[in-house]
Chain A
């Protein structure tokens, strides 16, 4: 809805604009600058044009990381969304259980990302880790440092543990907003549990689910800290996602030019995703 115009408002947002300029626009320009040049340090630069971009888009390493990211995001969504809905459906709607559940659900979200990584890194170790030790004791050969599949499983379980709560909380908010009369009417209509879910709860959760899916997709696509702490991108390159690859290139090898090009491509991908997010949301609202 259109609001009253007031030019004074611009003065109020000016500090933020300045801050954003310093924190985002200027560094971004620096990155753009790096991405078209080559440097060997000491502030000596050579013009490279689009060379880094061409190299990047032709490199297997980039595409492999990209595919890893997409697979990872897909698995995350396939687990977290149904699981989140399931937990939200089974949470109490009133009484003392509500605050307890909400706090329990919020706990993982409050833990800093690197701490989550560290927790799971220790948890999964097969010498001193509670999880790793007992899984091996059961006769299952589990070692996330050496086995790529074990590494993936660990990273995925860690992410599910960390982020399913977000989906749960969003869905729960959607569920509690459904008036009681709907459930009563469904009872009277003789609807089964499944029909109640399919025709009342799911439609009413649609909006929050959309937000949940898009948020989790974007977040998982940008994942960095947790797998970096746990696996460092290994074994081999098996858990090297785009962000980890970027850091390896920029800080590990100090290839500033290629890393800058990569950041820009990565930035554009995220921008594209945000745009999709925004369009889907606004179209959805307009349809209502």
Chain B
């Protein structure tokens, strides 16, 4: 179990990590999700022991390891760049951590072949990394991290430099590979989509702060605040600021969006409403859905679906609709908001939920 307790890291005048507390269990996959410079890499360096926190402490299996250097922590890392020993064969690359540890030859051979089979590298064991494709180079780096049998494996955007399809392939295999080991995996990514596909737990990061940590799907569906909801949305989250009066949120043009029954008790005030692009639709999804008229700015087609970019009052929205739609710019369209799928945030950006109301 890896624990960060109120960890802060400042470099010069800049706060890279602000008061982060996290507990990661053995055998778990943990995704760090956030945009560039949100602190993913800094946090990983603290977990690995490459940097020491400015304040706070790091605990491993009940022992304080704050300040203990990386060499003593049995950590493996995989980076965005494909880092292998260029002069060694794939076999020797994978074997290298075991050789350093002085493992006997027979066991090295067994473990290397196992890892190679797991990562589909068996045909390439005699090649050197530079004669491999990017995907195979990264598989080699992953295999090396696996055989090390580290108690903590950190992956810093490992698929970012790969082609879209290779990424898809490797991403599908990763959870299987992770499941086999009793190790703590930490995986940094900028892509919400990737976090969802990997599953496990997700910590969303924004400006050096962990905004939420929990099972990935739960963080996605029930974000605790607006920042988390925005971080975990691709295409971007649709939002609009509305004032609640009685049983309705008031929309421009006299439209009323009924307040979900479980939130009936919230005070009359101004709220930010958020909803995902696929919860905006051209056809009425159910009786309670509310129609609004919006103006098309651009339509993007992905083959089976269309992303329609809309202007509504001051807000810019994206609608993900089935089928191929070819609206002209400035067309007025009627779209439906489904009140069952809206998220409500108060003026401080905190999510307003039924469970919070009850508390």
Direct A–B contact in the complex, CB atoms closer than 8 angstroms: yes
A4 and B52 contact, CB distance less than 8 A: yes
Q: Do residues A2 and B51 form an inter-chain contact, with CB atoms below 8 A?
A: yes
Taking a contact as CB atoms under 8 Å apart, the answer to whether A4 and B69 are in contact is yes
Task: Give A9's nearest chain B residue, CB to CB.
Answer: B69
Contact with B along A1-31 (1 / 0, CB 8 A): 1111110000000000000000000000000
Docked pose: A6 CA to B68 CA in angstroms: 8
Residues of A within 8 A of B68 (CB): 4
Is B67 an interface residue when CB atoms closer than 8 A count as contact? yes
Contact-residue bracket for chain A: under 10
- Decide if the interface of chain B is mainly helix, strand, loop or mixed: loop
Q: Which residue of A lies closest to B11 (CB)?
A: A1
Q: Are A2 and B67 in contact (CB under 8 A)?
A: no
How far in angstroms is the closest Cβ of chain A from B282?
42
- Are A3 and B51 neighbours in the complex by a CB distance under 8 Å? yes
Q: Chain B interface residue count: which class?
A: 10 to 19
Cα-based distance from A76 to B70 in the complex (angstroms): 47
Select which of B49, B51, B67 is within 8 A of A1 by beta carbon: B51
The answer on a CB contact under 8 Å between B11 and A4 is no
Chain B window 284-319, contacts with chain A (Cβ cutoff 8 Å), 1 for yes, 0 for no: 000000000000000000000000000000000000
Contact B11 A3 (CB under 8 A): no
- In the complex, the answer to whether A6 meets B69 with C-beta atoms within 8 Å is yes
Interface bits B33-55 vs A (CB < 8 Å: 1, else 0): 00000000000000001111010
Contacts of A2 in B (CB 8 A): 11, 51-52, 54
Of listed B50, B54, B69, residue having the most chain A CB within 10 A: B69
Q: How far is the CB of B63 from chain A (nearest CB, A)?
A: 16
| Docked CA distance A2–B11 (Å) | 8
Q: What sequence of 0s and 1s flags, for each residue 217-250 of chain B, a beta carbon within 8 Å of any chain A beta carbon?
A: 0000000000000000000000000000000000
Near B by CB (< 8 A), chain A positions 119-151 give none
Q: Could you tell me the distance between the alpha carbons of A5 and B54 in the complex, rounded to whole angstroms?
A: 12
Bound Cα distance from A1 to B50, whole angstroms:
10
B70 partner residues in chain A, CB cutoff 8 A: 4
> In the assembled complex, which residues on chain B have CB atoms less than 8 Å from the CB atom of A3?
51-52
Chain A residue contacts of B67, Cβ below 8 A: 4-6
Q: Bound complex: CA of A4 vs CA of B72, how far in Å?
A: 12
What is the distance, in angstroms, from A3's C-beta to the closest C-beta of chain B? Answer: 7
Chain B residues with Cβ under 8 A from A6's Cβ?
67, 69
Residues 210-242 of A at the B interface (beta carbon under 8 Å): none
Across-interface contacts of B11 in A (CB, < 8 A) = 1-2
List residues of chain B with CB within 8 A of the CB of A5: 52, 67
Q: How far is the CB of B84 from chain A (nearest CB, A)?
A: 22
Binary interface encoding of chain B residues 45-86 relative to chain A, with 1 for a CB under 8 A from any of its CBs, else 0: 000011110100000000000011110000000000000000
Q: Separation in Å of the A225 CB from the closest CB of chain B?
A: 40
Please measure, in the bound complex, the distance between the C-alpha atom of A100 and the C-alpha atom of B50, giving whole angstroms: 41
- What chain B residues lie within 8 Å of A1 (beta carbons)? 11, 51
Q: How far is the CB of B263 from chain A (nearest CB, A)?
A: 47
The CA of A5 and the CA of B52, in the complex, are separated in Å by 8
Complex CA–CA separation, A3 to B50 (angstroms): 7
* A residues less than 8 Å from B51 (CB atoms): 1-4
* CA gap between A4 and B70 in the complex, in Å: 9
> Nearest Cβ in chain A — how far from B77, in angstroms?
15
Name the distance in Å between B136's Cβ and chain A's nearest Cβ.
25
Measured CB to CB, the nearest residue on chain B to A6 is B69
**Assembled-state Cα–Cα distance A3/B51 (Å):** 5
Task: Report the nearest B residue to A5, measured CB to CB.
Answer: B67
Query: A6 CA to B72 CA in the complex, in Å?
Result: 12
User: Could you say which of A1, A2, A4 has the most chain B C-beta atoms within 10 Å of its C-beta?
Assistant: A4
- Name the residue of chain A whose CB is nearest to the CB of B45: A1
User: How distant is A90 from chain B, measured CB to nearest CB, in Å?
Assistant: 31
CB distance from A154 to the nearest CB of B (A): 47
* Nearest-neighbor residue (CB-CB) of B70 within chain A: A4
- Complex formed: what's the CA distance from A3 to B11 in Å? 11
A218 CA to B70 CA, complexed, in Å? 39
Minimum Cβ distance to chain B for residue A162 (Å): 35
Nearest chain-B residue to A286 (Cβ)?
A: B12
A2–B70 alpha-carbon span in the complex (Å): 14
Give the Cβ gap from B81 to chain A, nearest Cβ, in Å: 15
When C-beta atoms are compared, the residue in chain A nearest to B50 turns out to be: A4
Determine the chain A residues whose CB is within 8 A of the CB of B54 once the complex forms.
Answer: 2
Closest Cβ of chain A to B60, distance in Å, is 14
A180→B69 CA distance, assembly (Å): 39
Q: How far is the CA of A3 from the CA of B69 in the complex (A)?
A: 9
| Most chain B CB inside 10 Å of its own CB: which residue of A1, A2, A3 | A2
The answer for the CA separation of A50 and B358 in the assembled complex, in Å, is 85
Q: How far is the CB of A222 from chain B (nearest CB, A)?
A: 34
* Complex CA–CA separation, A5 to B51 (angstroms): 9
Residues of A within 8 A of B69 (CB): 4, 6
Which residues B1-27 have CB closer than 8 A to chain A? 11
Query: How would residues 154 to 166 of chain B score, 1 for a CB under 8 Å from any chain A CB and 0 otherwise?
Result: 0000000000000
A3 to B49, CA, bound (A): 9
A6 to B69, CA, bound (A): 8
Complex contacts, B52 vs chain A, CB 8 Å: 2-5
**CB<8 Å pairs between A and B, sample of 11:** A1-B11, A1-B51, A2-B11, A2-B51, A2-B54, A4-B49, A4-B50, A4-B51, A4-B52, A4-B69, A6-B69
Closest A-B pairs by Cβ, 10 of them? A4-B69, A4-B52, A4-B67, A6-B69, A5-B67, A4-B49, A1-B11, A2-B51, A5-B52, A2-B52
Seen from chain A, the residues whose Cβ lies within 8 Å of a Cβ on chain B are 1-6
In the complex, besides A4-B49, A5-B67, A6-B69, 9 extra interface pairs with C-beta distance below 8 angstroms are: A1-B51, A2-B11, A2-B54, A3-B51, A3-B52, A4-B52, A4-B67, A4-B68, A4-B70
